[in-house]
Amino acid sequence: MRIILKRIILLFNIFLILAGCTSITEKGSRVINTRSGSERVDGLTYNSKGQNFRQRFIILHYTVSDRERSIDLLTNKDVSSHYLITDRENEPIYYLVDENKRAWHAGVSSWGNFTNLNDNSIGIEIVNKGFILKDGKMEFYRYPSWQIHKTAVLVQDLIKRYEVEPQNILGHSDIAPQRKQDPGPLFPWEELYRDYGIGMWYDETDKEKYKDAFDNRITPEEVQKELRKFGYGIAVSKVYDEQTKNVITAFQFHFRQNKYDGIMDAETFAVLKALNEKYKK
Ligand SMILES: [Zn+2]
């Protein structure tokens, strides 16, 4: 009796599953290669409701190297990116790794609940020498406006095709703040947001609301929690340690580009609060 009941439940479940799959989009067969040759297998294609694109993030980089070395590194070594934008205005964009495959550009990385962002991101490298140290200070190289335009057009296309959210368009330094500085404080994030609708930027009115929010009662723990809430991989160590300084620097590279000393202040904190209010409710 119990067996019969189990079978009825099983049949009912199968009925439910089939009833849920109403949209048959394609009927066809596939050729499967086996050890003894190839075999034709009949199949049906359903368009399941539960799915998303693998390409959730777009990560921007600079190469540090010149054009020739960048091409060599990204094609012949253990690093790669999906796209390379060189420093030659009339040169097409290099497409180096299929968008459905993993490129090796992010390394050890995290954002929000995601880790190892090679798994779910598109990497774009831009030929730019990065920075030089002058009297112990980092001096960064500018990006020509045509290079930014080229990048923006590519990113817009990717956003459209993969429905990438603004919160997931980030720099390498955002997802690996302990190791990386790219694309650096001269990468024009605000311009990309305003002129091309790319990525995140805060609203001035929100920032104004929080202009006095940072005072000596704000503990390192609160700062770390705000940065963590935004997405940064940061430990709540309750002190202003090296890792916190690196994360604050990464944040300033992206959102407060005229001061990137890694020290939290009223302006940086107001921007952080404004961004959390807008994007991380
Ligand atoms: Zn990078």
pLDDT digits (tens, 9 = 90+) for 150-159: 999 999 999 9
What domains, with CATH codes, occur in the chain? 57-196 (3.40.80.10), 204-279 (1.10.101.10)
Long-range pairs for 117-121 at CB < 8 Å and ≥24 separation? Answer: 117/57, 117/59, 117/175, 119/54, 120/54, 120/55, 120/56, 120/57, 121/55, 121/56, 121/57, 121/58, 121/59
Q: How far is the CA of 122 from the centre of ligand 1 (A)?
A: 12
Instruction: Give the per-residue pLDDT at 15.
Output: 45
Q: How far is the CA of 142 from the centre of ligand 1 (A)?
A: 16
Q: How far is the CA of 171 from the centre of ligand 1 (A)?
A: 8
Instruction: Give the per-residue pLDDT at 4.
Output: 60
Instruction: Give the per-residue pLDDT at 112.
Output: 97
Instruction: Give the per-residue pLDDT at 34.
Output: 75
Which of 187, 190, 103 has its CA nearest to residue 147?
Answer: 187
Q: How far is CA 98 from CA 80, 82, 153, 162, in A?
A: 11, 7, 18, 14
Q: How far is the CA of 221 from the centre of ligand 1 (A)?
A: 28
- pLDDT, the chain, mean: 91
Instruction: Give the per-residue pLDDT at 43.
Output: 78
Which portions of the chain are predicted below pLDDT 70? Answer: 1-27
Instruction: Give the per-residue pLDDT at 17.
Output: 45
Instruction: Give the per-residue pLDDT at 41.
Output: 76
Concerning whether 125 is annotated as a catalytic residue, the answer is yes
The catalytic residue among 99, 125, 139, 191 is: 125
